[in-house]
Amino acid sequence: MSKATDTIALTIIIPAKNEAKAIGDVVATARAEYPEAEIIVVDDGSDDGTGDIAGQAGATVVKHPESLGNGAAVKSGARAARGEILAFMDGDGQHDAREFGELLEKLDQGYEMAIGARHSGSHANVGRLFANGFYNYFASMISGRSIPDLTSGFRVVRAHLFKRFLYLLPNGFSYPTTITMAFLRSGYAVRFEPIQVGKRKGKSHIRPFRDGVKFLAIIFKIATLYSPLKVFLPISGLFFATGLGYYAYTYITIGRFTNMSMLVFSAAVIIFLIGLISEQITALTYSKS
C-alpha cells in the first residue's frame, strides 16, 4: 500500500492504565464525534480489561506488557499513528473529544500545536494546583510568553513535528511539559484555548509524595529545554557577588584575598561556562534545519 493511501487526516491517541470504568465512554464519544478518525488506545500494562473494553468500543489497541509510563504510552501511540494530525486526551473521563473542534480550528489558522488550558478549579487537589501554577509561572518567565497550562494532556499537533521530538519525551507524566517547551524553543506557533474538564473516573495514578520529589527536576527541565543561560547566568552572578562581598570583607578585616573567595569566584565562572555550553547545545537541538 502506498504512503499516500496509508495516511489519514486525524489520529486520536488515548494513553490509559486501569481505566476500565471510563475508557469505553471516552472511545465511544470520540468515535461518534470523529467517525473517520483513527482512534488508538495505548493500554499501559492494565490488569482490569481496559484494552479489551477499548477495542470493543471501536479503538485500535496498542498494548504494553507492563506499565512503562504515561509518556511511553504517548510515544507508542504516536509511532503507531497514521494521521497527519495527532490529538491527545486522557482515558479517565476528564476530557471530552467534542472539545477538539476548537483546537483543530487553530491548526487550520496556522498554529502547529493547540493546547486545551484548564481553569484553576479543574485540578484534583490544592497540591496539584500549586505545582502546576508554579510550572506555568516559571515557564512563562523563561519563555517570555504567557503559558496558562503547561501540563495539559489535551492537545492537537501536526504529526511530523511531534514525531521529530519523540526522542526527547520522558516515559513519565512530564511529557506535556517537554513537548510544549520544545515547540516554543523551536519557534513553532503554539496556542492555548480554555477547555472544560470533567471529574475523573477511578483513582489517579499520580502519587503526591512520590511525584512531588520530581518537582525541582521538572523545573530544571523547563529551563534546560528552553534557555539554560537564563537560569545559569543569575546563579553565576549570585556566586560572583558573594565572592566579591567576601573578598571585600576579608580585605578590610585581615587585608588579604582568601582561598574561599577564589573558590566562590571559580564556581561562578564554572556555572557560567556550563550555562553557555548548555545554551549552544540547546540551540543546535532545536534548530529547524
Q: What grid cell was written down for 194?
A: 480554555
Q: Where are the beta strands (DSSP E) in the chain?
A: 8-16, 38-44, 60-64, 83-88, 113-117, 155-158, 190-194
- Measured distance CA(170)–CA(214) in Å, rounded: 13
- Under a CB-based contact definition with an 8 Å cutoff, are residues 87 and 156 in contact? yes
The Cα–Cα gap between 220 and 45 comes to: 30
Q: Please give the torsion angle defined by the CA atoms of residues 175, 181, 182 and 187, in that order, rounded to the nearest 10 degrees.
A: 150
- Domain segments of the chain: what residues? 3-226, 229-285
Q: Pick the closest to residue 42 from 22, 4, 70, 3 (CA basis).
A: 70
Of the options 3.90.550.10, 3.20.20.70, 3.40.50.720, 2.40.110.10, the CATH number for the domain spanning 3-226: 3.90.550.10
pLDDT-above-90 percentage for the chain: 61
**In 3D, which of 59, 118, 113, 121 has the Cα closest to residue 15?**
59
pLDDT 10s digits, 147-203: 999 889 999 999 999 999 999 898 887 889 889 988 998 889 999 999 988 665 655
Q: Based on C-alpha coordinates, what's the Rg of the chain?
A: 23
pLDDT truncated to tens, each residue of the chain (289 aa)?
334 447 799 999 999 999 999 999 999 999 999 999 999 999 999 999 999 999 999 999 999 999 999 999 999 999 999 999 999 999 998 999 999 999 999 999 999 999 999 875 555 555 666 777 888 888 888 888 889 998 899 999 999 999 999 998 988 878 898 899 889 988 899 999 999 886 656 555 555 445 555 666 777 777 777 888 888 999 999 999 999 999 999 999 998 889 999 999 999 999 999 999 988 888 887 765 4
Sorted by sequence, the CB contacts under 8 Å of residue 155 that are 6+ apart come out as 87, 88, 103, 113, 114, 115, 116, 176
pTM reported for the whole predicted model = 0.81
Supply the pLDDT for residue 30: 96
Average pLDDT, the chain: 87
Q: Is 94 in contact with 143 (CB distance < 8 Å)?
A: no
